[in-house]
Structures are given as C-alpha cells and as structure tokens.
Amino acid sequence: MAFHVPGPCQIYWDEELLGFTKAGIIIRPVATWEPILDDEHGAAPADFIQTGKSCVVETILLHPSDYAGVASLFAMTLLAASDTAGANLVGSYAGPGGNDDIYKALTIVEANGATWTADFAVSGDPREIRLMSTQELGLPMLFQIVPNAAGKLFSAVPSYIT
C-alpha cells in the first residue's frame, strides 16, 4: 500500500535543501521474501520467510537548489569510498553495521511543517528528466530507505500518522 504525502514539500538530503515538490511524495513499502525449501515438497516452496523491508520514496523535484549537487547523488549510489585503503567500493553493503558512506538522512517537510525523517536513505535510479507544460524542469527523484538500528524505516513521522 502506497502512502501519498501531499505537496508542496521540501526535500533535505543530510540537512542540505535539495529543492521543492509541488505534487508531494509517494512512499511505497517493499518487503522481500525468500522461499523455504525442504525434501518433502521438492522444488515447490514449503513456506516463505520475510528477509527484509525497505521503502521507496518517489517525487518530482522542481527548482532544485543546486543542479550539480542533485546530480552527484546519483553518482554516490555507484561508488562509496569507505574502506581503509581508500579504494572505491561498488555495490557494497550499506546501512547499520555496514558501509554508511552512501546512506544519508532524508528529511521531508510538508507545507504544514510536519516532518518525515529516514536515517538511512540512498538515491536510486530516477526516471527521465522532463520539461513540463508549464516550462518547469521536473527532476524525478527516487530514494531507497533501509531500517535503522532500531528496525524502523522512519525515525520521525508526523503526529497524524501515530
């Protein structure tokens, strides 16, 4: 089930303002499941077990505060310089207990001041950039959120959720 955060919203990436949205944000929870196989059932799964949870946050950013800064988010999803030798790691595990270099805090501030904060978010592969009929440049943004050390996807949510 997806949740729509109404716009306009401000998007902060590690306390730096990325820009604003008009139409709000869509938050989609994602659960990953793995089959449990046993001899009795052969190749057919006997059951499934939940192996993870995450969220995908999608929006279209209008009037970014820094185009180069927004573009660098996508480069950071590929490379993270965190090992002791200083070499770049590609596709390394990130999140609590792992490589935290590519994960930053994502904060969404609604027009009424309500705030959503995810401690571990990474920018994902966005859709194509499009020029809207109002001649505004819309930058599609996608963030993947993983649970923090307490197992929560968001460390802060608006009071109307709780």
What are the pLDDT digits (tens) for 20-63?
888 889 998 888 889 888 888 888 888 999 888 888 888 887 76
Tell me the per-residue pLDDT of 61-113, one tens digit each, with 9 for 90 and over.
Answer: 776 665 555 655 555 544 444 444 444 444 444 444 455 566 888 999 999 99
Could you tell me the pLDDT band of residue 16, with boundaries at 50, 70 and 90? confident
Residue 116 has pLDDT above 90, yes or no: yes
Residues 6+ apart with CB under 8 A from 29: 1, 53, 54, 55, 153
**pLDDT of res. 64:** 66
Residue 117 has pLDDT above 90, yes or no: yes
**pLDDT of res. 92:** 46
Cα separation of 154 and 10, whole Å?
17
Coil, helix or strand at residue 118: strand
**pLDDT of res. 129:** 57
Could you tell me the pLDDT band of residue 127, with boundaries at 50, 70 and 90? low
